[in-house]
A and B are shown apart, each in its own frame.
Chain A
Protein backbone atom coordinates (compact mmCIF):
# COMPACT_ATOMS: atom_id res chain seq x y z
CA UNK A 1 0.00 0.00 0.00
CA UNK A 2 1.11 3.53 -0.65
CA UNK A 3 1.28 6.00 2.16
CA UNK A 4 2.62 9.46 2.86
CA UNK A 5 3.31 10.55 6.40
CA UNK A 6 3.79 14.12 7.50
CA UNK A 7 4.44 13.73 11.19
CA UNK A 8 4.44 17.44 11.96
CA UNK A 9 0.85 18.61 12.25
CA UNK A 10 1.67 22.21 13.04
CA UNK A 11 4.86 24.25 13.16
CA UNK A 12 5.23 27.81 14.38
CA UNK A 13 8.35 29.87 13.74
CA UNK A 14 9.43 33.47 13.91
CA UNK A 15 10.15 35.29 10.70
CA UNK A 16 13.65 34.73 9.27
CA UNK A 17 14.02 31.34 10.93
CA UNK A 18 14.74 28.31 8.77
CA UNK A 19 12.16 25.55 8.91
CA UNK A 20 12.09 21.99 7.59
CA UNK A 21 8.91 20.11 6.82
CA UNK A 22 9.25 16.35 6.93
CA UNK A 23 7.73 13.86 4.51
CA UNK A 24 8.14 10.09 4.65
CA UNK A 25 6.58 7.87 2.03
CA UNK A 26 5.90 4.18 1.57
CA UNK A 27 5.65 2.33 -1.71
CA UNK A 28 6.88 -0.92 -3.19
CA UNK A 29 7.09 0.55 -6.66
CA UNK A 30 10.47 1.48 -8.02
CA UNK A 31 9.07 4.22 -10.24
CA UNK A 32 7.15 6.96 -8.54
CA UNK A 33 6.90 10.71 -8.26
CA UNK A 34 6.82 12.95 -5.25
CA UNK A 35 5.21 16.36 -5.02
CA UNK A 36 4.88 19.25 -2.65
CA UNK A 37 1.84 21.53 -2.72
CA UNK A 38 1.18 24.71 -0.78
CA UNK A 39 -2.28 25.69 0.42
CA UNK A 40 -2.34 29.30 1.61
CA UNK A 41 -5.19 30.63 3.77
CA UNK A 42 -7.09 31.53 0.59
CA UNK A 43 -7.55 27.78 0.03
CA UNK A 44 -6.16 27.04 -3.40
CA UNK A 45 -3.55 24.35 -3.95
CA UNK A 46 -0.31 25.58 -5.45
CA UNK A 47 2.15 23.16 -7.05
CA UNK A 48 5.71 23.64 -5.72
CA UNK A 49 7.86 20.79 -6.98
CA UNK A 50 7.89 17.36 -8.62
CA UNK A 51 10.67 14.81 -8.17
CA UNK A 52 10.92 11.39 -9.78
CA UNK A 53 12.30 8.34 -8.03
CA UNK A 54 15.38 8.17 -10.24
CA UNK A 55 16.56 11.65 -9.45
CA UNK A 56 18.00 12.03 -5.99
CA UNK A 57 19.57 15.39 -6.58
CA UNK A 58 18.55 18.03 -4.13
CA UNK A 59 16.85 21.05 -5.57
CA UNK A 60 16.94 24.68 -4.61
CA UNK A 61 14.55 27.35 -5.78
CA UNK A 62 15.12 30.67 -4.11
CA UNK A 63 14.43 30.22 -0.40
CA UNK A 64 13.01 26.74 -0.95
CA UNK A 65 15.02 23.55 -1.06
CA UNK A 66 14.15 19.89 -1.15
CA UNK A 67 16.13 16.92 0.10
CA UNK A 68 15.15 13.59 -1.46
CA UNK A 69 16.68 10.48 0.12
CA UNK A 70 15.54 7.10 -1.16
CA UNK A 71 17.49 5.28 1.56
CA UNK A 72 15.19 6.76 4.18
CA UNK A 73 12.13 7.20 1.92
CA UNK A 74 12.05 10.87 2.74
CA UNK A 75 11.43 14.02 0.74
CA UNK A 76 11.90 16.93 3.11
CA UNK A 77 11.22 20.57 2.34
CA UNK A 78 13.20 23.43 3.83
CA UNK A 79 12.29 27.10 3.79
CA UNK A 80 15.23 29.37 4.47
CA UNK A 81 14.70 32.76 6.10
CA UNK A 82 10.97 32.20 6.44
CA UNK A 83 8.53 35.01 5.75
CA UNK A 84 4.98 35.66 6.92
CA UNK A 85 3.76 34.91 3.38
CA UNK A 86 5.05 31.36 3.80
CA UNK A 87 2.28 30.70 6.31
CA UNK A 88 0.21 27.91 4.77
CA UNK A 89 -0.56 24.24 4.91
CA UNK A 90 1.98 22.21 2.99
CA UNK A 91 1.15 18.83 1.52
CA UNK A 92 3.50 16.12 0.37
CA UNK A 93 2.07 13.69 -2.19
CA UNK A 94 3.05 10.48 -3.97
CA UNK A 95 2.03 9.40 -7.45
CA UNK A 96 2.75 6.00 -8.95
CA UNK A 97 3.23 4.92 -12.52
CA UNK A 98 0.12 3.36 -14.03
CA UNK A 99 -3.13 2.60 -12.27
CA UNK A 100 -5.47 5.37 -11.27
CA UNK A 101 -2.91 8.12 -11.69
CA UNK A 102 -4.04 9.36 -8.33
CA UNK A 103 -2.08 11.42 -5.87
CA UNK A 104 -1.76 10.01 -2.36
CA UNK A 105 -1.52 12.94 0.00
CA UNK A 106 -0.10 13.28 3.44
CA UNK A 107 -2.30 14.98 6.00
CA UNK A 108 -0.41 18.22 5.70
CA UNK A 109 1.72 20.42 7.92
CA UNK A 110 0.38 23.81 8.96
CA UNK A 111 3.18 26.34 9.05
CA UNK A 112 2.68 29.63 10.84
CA UNK A 113 5.37 32.27 10.45
CA UNK A 114 5.03 35.00 13.03
CA UNK A 115 6.43 38.50 12.48
Chain B
Protein backbone atom coordinates (compact mmCIF):
# COMPACT_ATOMS: atom_id res chain seq x y z
CA UNK B 1 0.00 0.00 0.00
CA UNK B 2 1.93 3.03 -1.27
CA UNK B 3 -0.48 5.74 -0.03
CA UNK B 4 0.02 9.04 -1.86
CA UNK B 5 2.94 9.10 -4.29
CA UNK B 6 4.35 12.32 -5.66
CA UNK B 7 6.91 12.64 -8.42
CA UNK B 8 9.38 14.15 -8.84
CA UNK B 9 10.76 14.90 -5.37
CA UNK B 10 12.91 17.75 -6.65
CA UNK B 11 12.74 19.88 -9.77
CA UNK B 12 14.47 22.96 -11.10
CA UNK B 13 12.75 24.89 -13.87
CA UNK B 14 13.64 27.93 -15.86
CA UNK B 15 11.20 30.81 -15.97
CA UNK B 16 8.62 30.18 -18.66
CA UNK B 17 8.99 26.42 -18.77
CA UNK B 18 6.02 24.17 -18.18
CA UNK B 19 5.85 20.94 -16.26
CA UNK B 20 3.50 18.53 -14.56
CA UNK B 21 3.75 17.41 -10.96
CA UNK B 22 2.39 13.92 -10.64
CA UNK B 23 0.23 12.63 -7.79
CA UNK B 24 -1.20 9.14 -7.46
CA UNK B 25 -3.00 7.38 -4.62
CA UNK B 26 -3.94 3.76 -4.29
CA UNK B 27 -6.46 4.07 -1.45
CA UNK B 28 -9.53 4.68 -3.64
CA UNK B 29 -9.92 8.12 -2.04
CA UNK B 30 -12.51 10.40 -3.60
CA UNK B 31 -10.99 13.68 -2.50
CA UNK B 32 -7.64 14.91 -3.68
CA UNK B 33 -5.99 18.29 -3.42
CA UNK B 34 -2.82 20.23 -4.01
CA UNK B 35 -1.25 22.54 -1.45
CA UNK B 36 1.81 24.69 -1.61
CA UNK B 37 3.99 25.43 1.40
CA UNK B 38 5.98 28.62 1.64
CA UNK B 39 8.10 29.79 4.57
CA UNK B 40 5.97 31.44 7.23
CA UNK B 41 2.77 30.87 5.23
CA UNK B 42 1.69 27.42 6.28
CA UNK B 43 0.00 25.39 3.56
CA UNK B 44 -2.36 26.96 1.07
CA UNK B 45 -4.81 25.16 -1.16
CA UNK B 46 -4.21 25.44 -4.91
CA UNK B 47 -6.83 23.14 -6.46
CA UNK B 48 -8.95 20.28 -5.27
CA UNK B 49 -11.12 17.50 -6.63
CA UNK B 50 -14.10 15.77 -5.04
CA UNK B 51 -14.10 12.94 -7.58
CA UNK B 52 -13.09 11.89 -11.07
CA UNK B 53 -14.04 14.55 -13.60
CA UNK B 54 -14.65 17.22 -10.95
CA UNK B 55 -12.13 19.89 -10.00
CA UNK B 56 -12.30 23.33 -8.47
CA UNK B 57 -10.06 26.19 -7.46
CA UNK B 58 -8.65 26.71 -4.04
CA UNK B 59 -7.06 29.74 -2.45
CA UNK B 60 -4.12 30.28 -4.83
CA UNK B 61 -5.00 28.75 -8.22
CA UNK B 62 -3.40 31.23 -10.60
CA UNK B 63 -0.73 29.73 -12.83
CA UNK B 64 -1.81 26.15 -12.21
CA UNK B 65 -4.13 23.71 -13.97
CA UNK B 66 -5.46 20.37 -12.82
CA UNK B 67 -7.52 17.53 -14.20
CA UNK B 68 -8.91 14.35 -12.67
CA UNK B 69 -9.53 11.73 -15.33
CA UNK B 70 -9.23 8.81 -12.90
CA UNK B 71 -9.80 8.34 -9.18
CA UNK B 72 -6.13 7.52 -8.68
CA UNK B 73 -4.37 10.43 -10.38
CA UNK B 74 -4.45 14.19 -9.85
CA UNK B 75 -1.65 15.92 -11.78
CA UNK B 76 -0.80 19.59 -11.27
CA UNK B 77 0.37 21.52 -14.31
CA UNK B 78 2.44 24.66 -14.25
CA UNK B 79 1.72 26.41 -17.52
CA UNK B 80 4.57 28.95 -17.54
CA UNK B 81 6.74 28.72 -14.47
CA UNK B 82 7.54 31.88 -12.54
CA UNK B 83 9.97 32.43 -9.64
CA UNK B 84 6.94 33.06 -7.39
CA UNK B 85 6.04 29.41 -7.87
CA UNK B 86 9.18 28.30 -6.10
CA UNK B 87 7.71 26.27 -3.24
CA UNK B 88 7.16 22.85 -1.78
CA UNK B 89 4.07 21.20 -3.22
CA UNK B 90 2.04 18.62 -1.38
CA UNK B 91 -0.64 16.39 -2.79
CA UNK B 92 -3.20 15.01 -0.36
CA UNK B 93 -6.12 12.63 -0.48
CA UNK B 94 -9.02 11.94 1.82
CA UNK B 95 -11.54 9.14 2.11
CA UNK B 96 -15.18 9.81 2.65
CA UNK B 97 -17.56 12.69 2.25
CA UNK B 98 -17.24 14.27 5.63
CA UNK B 99 -14.67 16.64 7.08
CA UNK B 100 -13.97 14.21 9.86
CA UNK B 101 -11.63 12.30 7.62
CA UNK B 102 -8.07 13.42 7.77
CA UNK B 103 -5.94 13.91 4.74
CA UNK B 104 -3.04 11.65 3.81
CA UNK B 105 -0.21 13.70 2.36
CA UNK B 106 2.42 12.78 -0.17
CA UNK B 107 6.07 13.37 0.63
CA UNK B 108 6.18 16.61 -1.33
CA UNK B 109 7.87 18.05 -4.42
CA UNK B 110 10.42 20.79 -3.93
CA UNK B 111 10.28 23.08 -6.96
CA UNK B 112 12.72 25.85 -7.72
CA UNK B 113 12.10 28.26 -10.59
CA UNK B 114 15.13 30.23 -11.70
Contact = CB atoms under 8 A, between A and B. Distances in A.
Interface string B37-54: 000111111001010000
A45 B90 contact: yes
| Tier of interface size on chain A | 20 to 34
B40 A35 contact: no
B102 A91 contact: no
Interface in A1-29: 4, 9
Contacts, number: 60
A105 B108 contact: no
A57 interface: no
A43 B42 contact: no
Nearest to A49: B102
Nearest to B57: A100
Nearest to A106: B42
Contact of B43 (A97, A100, A103): A103
B100 A50 contact: yes
B99 A91 contact: no
B102 A47 contact: yes
A9 B99 CA distance: 27
Nearest to A47: B102
Contacts of A45: 90, 105, 108
B107 A43 contact: yes
A39 to B, nearest CB: 8
Contact of B56 (A9, A52, A95, A100): A100
Interface string A86-112: 000001000111101111011110000
Nearest to A32: B99
Interface of B: 31, 33, 35, 40-45, 48, 50, 56, 58-59, 88, 90, 92, 94, 98-100, 102-105, 107-108, 110
20 contacts: A43-B88, A43-B107, A44-B107, A44-B108, A45-B105, A50-B100, A50-B102, A52-B100, A91-B42, A96-B99, A97-B99, A100-B56, A101-B33, A102-B59, A103-B45, A103-B92, A105-B35, A105-B42, A105-B44, A106-B42
